[in-house]
Amino acid sequence: MTRSEVRSIVIAELVAVEQAIGCPVPTITDSTRPIGDLEGFDSQVSEDTTATILGNLGAPPETKNPFTLRDGQHHVTLDRIVDYFCRAAGVKET
């Protein structure tokens, strides 16, 4: 699997979540901050989304939420979120 494939999986799940909760789906780019930029996407939703993406990647479950920094207040860009999922899935390509 490549970083590009991981990125596609993450974006597909974000789109699916937005559609499932009935929110408009904006264009998602590497600078998108899902918490803050995607309507209805909050820290609680991000925890379920993390578990789903890890499962789709065949990666073990983790307790870290890649959508927020440790303080829970600062929201992370898609680019950094994809980096996290690449590490979790053992994808070496940067």
What is the pLDDT at residue 92? 85
Q: What is the DSSP letter of 64?
A: -
What is the pLDDT at residue 73? 63
State the sign of the Cα–Cα–Cα–Cα dihedral 87, 75, 65, 12. negative
What is the pLDDT at residue 64? 87
Which residues in the chain show pLDDT less than 70? 71-73, 94
What is the pLDDT at residue 69? 79
What is the pLDDT at residue 49? 96
What is the pLDDT at residue 16? 97
What does the buried/exposed string (b/e) look like for 55-73 if buried means 16 or more CB atoms within 10 Å of the residue's CB? eebebeeeeebbbbeeeee
